[in-house]
Amino acid sequence: MTETTSAVLIGKKPVMNYVLACITFFHGGAKQVSIKARGRSICRAIDVAEVLRQRFLPDVKIKSIGIGTDQFLPIDQDENTQSATNVSTIEITLTR
């Protein structure tokens, strides 16, 4: 049996919108939910995981936390310029 992981991508919406998305995945039968964020949304992703665990689903545990860096080249890139922008990333995997 293959186990699929549902993913919630964090953006600029309020924290409770993402908490509700995670709750919906868990009540839909998902065993794992992955919360992914980049850049300034990382703090919001952490808030989502903590609000979900502390207030709504206390049986949810943090399985893993992964951090990394994505590199982006500018859209109007010249062949001579190789200035890539680094953006931090985080992935929090929650299990029930």
Q: How many CB atoms lie within 10 A of CB 21?
A: 20
- Tell me, what's the pLDDT at 3? 58
Q: 83 in a domain, yes or no?
A: yes
Q: 1 in a domain, yes or no?
A: no
75 or 8, which is more confident: 8
Do residues 58 and 24 touch, judged by C-beta distance below 8 A? no
- Tell me, what's the pLDDT at 72? 84
Structure tokens at 47: 């808030």
**pLDDT tens, 24-73?**
999 999 999 999 999 999 999 999 999 999 999 999 999 999 999 999 88
- Tell me, what's the pLDDT at 73? 81
Q: Domain containing 81 — which CATH number?
A: 3.30.110.20
Please give the model's pTM, rounded to 2 decimal places: 0.86
Please count the structural domains in the chain.
Answer: 1
Range of the domain at 61: 6-95
- Tell me, what's the pLDDT at 2? 44
Q: 12 in a domain, yes or no?
A: yes
What residue type is 14 in one-letter code? P
- Tell me, what's the pLDDT at 1? 38
| Burial group, residue 50, by CB count within 10 angstroms (0-12, 13-18, 19+) | middle
